[in-house]
C-alpha cells in the first residue's frame, strides 16, 4: 500500500518508558535524499529489545519516546532521490540495525563495531521503517528469492553470533560450553554443532534444554536441577580438564564466574553476555595467569558478518523456524513483552505488521 493510500500514517509501537510501549497511529517517516522507506514484512523480538523495554531506554540506541525494534526484513516502498539505481522499489531487503562511519579511529583500526559514530536505527515494530542512507550504503542487503522474509529477519543476531565464533578461535573437534540457552545461546549451539564442534549446553528450564539438544548439544544441563554446574561440565571434558572454549551468553556475575571455571588451561572464554551496569565479578587472578586463560568480549557485529550471516542462511545452515515460537500481529506486541518478562520459555516471536 502506497504512502498516499495510507494517508501519511502508519501503525507502530512507541516506547515511552519502562515497560511502557503503546501501539499508535504515527506519521510515516519522511525520507532524506539518501534514505529508503521499507515496508516491514517481519520483525522479530529479541533479548535486547526486552532489556530496553524493561529499563525504558538504551544509552546508545534509543531514548523515549521513540519507535522501537531492530530485527526485520521487508520490501522497499520508496527511495530518496540520491539512492543509487541498484536499489529499487519492490526490492526484498534485510537492513541491519547499524552502520559504522568508516572514518573514525576505531574504523581505521579495523574495529567498526566500536565506531565512535556508530549509527543505530530502530523502528522495526511498525508498518514502515526509514533506513538511513549510511545503512542503505553499508549494511542493507538484497534477500535472494530462495530465502523467506522470516529467515532473512534473523541476519542481525546471527551476525553477532558468527563474529563471536570467529573471535573466540574455535576449531573442528573442540569442546565448547555454551552458557545460556536463549535465542543467542541456541544460535551458538546450532552454528557450532554444524561445524563439528562438541557442544555442552548450560541452561534453565526444560524447554531450553530440549531446544539445546534438538539443535546439536551433546549434553545439556538445567542449572535449577544440579548443585554444581562447573563440576558437571568438567566431567564431560577430556581428563576433566575443562572445555577448549566457553561462550557466556547470559550476562550475570555468577555465569561469568562459571565460564572462567569451566575452561581448560590455555582455553578461551568469550564473555558475550553483557552484565548490568555496576555488576562486580570475583575472579581468581592466579587461575587466569598460571592457566593462561584468554578472555574475549564480543560486542555487536560488523558489515562483514552481516554478509556472512545472510550467506549462512542462503546455504540453509540455519533457519528461523528453529528459534521462532510464534507469530502475532503488531497489536499484540505489548502482551508479548509481558509474557517474555515472565520467562515462559518463548524464544523469539515474529511480529507481522
pLDDT (0 to 100) of residue 345: 58
pLDDT at 339: 85
Predicted confidence at residue 62, as pLDDT, reads 82
Q: What is the pLDDT of residue 137?
A: 96
Give the residue ranges of the chain where pLDDT is below 50.
1-5
Q: What does the alpha-carbon distance between residue 319 and residue 301 come to, in Å, rounded to a whole number?
A: 19
pLDDT of residue 5: 43
- Angle, in degrees to the nearest 10, between helices 333-341 and 47-55: 90
Set of cell numbers at residue 300: 555487536
**pLDDT at position 60:** 74
| pLDDT for position 31 | 97
CA separation for the pair 76, 89 (Å, rounded): 5
- Residue 231: CB partners within 8 Å, gap ≥ 6? none
Residue 346, pLDDT score: 62
Q: Which stretches of the chain are DSSP H helices?
A: 47-55, 105-108, 133-138, 149-152, 155-168, 183-194, 206-214, 229-234, 253-262, 285-290, 303-314, 333-341
pLDDT value, residue 1: 45
Q: Which domains are delineated in the chain?
A: 9-154+318-352 (3.90.180.10), 161-296 (3.40.50.720)
The whole-number pLDDT of residue 225 equals: 95
pLDDT at residue 183 in the model: 92
Amino acid at each position: 500500500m502506497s504512502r498516499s493510500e495510507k494517508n501519511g500514517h502508519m501503525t507502530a509501537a512507541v516506547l515511552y518508558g519502562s515497560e511502557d510501549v503503546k501501539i499508535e497511529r504515527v506519521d510515516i517517516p519522511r525520507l532524506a535524499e539518501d534514505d529508503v522507506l521499507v515496508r516491514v514484512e517481519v520483525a522479530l523480538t529479541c533479548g535486547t529489545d526486552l532489556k530496553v523495554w524493561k529499563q525504558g531506554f538504551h544509552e546508545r540506541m534509543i531514548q523515549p519516546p521513540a519507535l522501537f525494534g531492530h530485527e526485520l526484513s521487508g520490501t522497499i516502498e520508496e527511495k530518496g532521490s540520491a539512492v543509487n539505481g541498484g536499489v529499487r522499489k519492490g526490492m526484498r531487503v534485510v537492513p541491519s540495525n547499524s552502520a559504522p562511519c568508516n572514518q573514525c579511529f576505531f574504523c581505521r583500526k579495523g574495529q567498526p563495531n566500536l565506531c565512535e559514530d556508530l549509527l543505530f536505527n530502530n523502528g522495526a515494530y511498525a508498518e514502515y521503517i526509514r533506513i538511513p542512507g549510511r545503512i542503505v550504503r553499508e549494511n542493507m542487503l538484497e534477500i535472494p528469492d530462495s530465502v523467506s522474509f522470516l529467515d532473512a529477519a534473523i541476519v542481525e543476531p546471527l551476525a553477532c553470533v558468527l563474529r563471536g565464533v570467529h573471535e573466540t578461535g574455535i576449531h573442528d573437534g573442540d569442546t565448547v560450553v555454551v552458557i545460556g540457552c536463549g535465542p543467542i545461546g541456541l544460535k551458538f549451539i546450532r552454528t557450532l554443532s554444524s561445524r563439528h564442534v562438541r557442544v555442552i549446553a548450560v541452561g534453565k528450564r526444560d524447554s531450553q534444554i530440549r531446544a539445546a539438544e534438538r539443535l546439536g548439544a551433546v549434553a545439556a544441563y538445567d542449572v535449577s536441577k544440579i548443585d554444581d554446574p562447573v563440576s558437571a561440565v568438567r566431567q564431560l571434558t577430556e581428563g576433566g580438564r575443562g572445555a577448549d572454549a566457553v561462550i557466556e551468553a547470559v550476562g550475570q556475575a555468577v555465569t561469568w564466574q562459571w565460564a572462567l571455571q569451566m575452561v581448560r588451561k590455555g582455553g578461551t572464554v568469550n564473555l558475550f553476555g553483557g552484565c548490568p551496569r555496576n555488576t562486580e565479578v570475583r575472579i581468581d587472578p592466579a587461575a587466569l595467569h598460571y592457566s593462561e586463560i584468554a578472555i574475549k568480549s564480543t560486542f555487536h557485529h560488523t558489515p562483514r558478518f552481516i554478509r556472512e550471516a545472510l550467506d549462512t542462511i542462503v546455504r540453509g545452515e540455519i533457519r528461523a523456524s528453529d528459534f521462532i515460537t510464534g507469530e502475532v500481529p503488531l497489536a499484540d506486541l505489548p502482551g508479548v513483552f509481558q509474557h517474555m518478562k515472565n520467562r515462559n520459555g518463548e524464544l523469539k516471536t515474529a511480529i507481522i505488521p
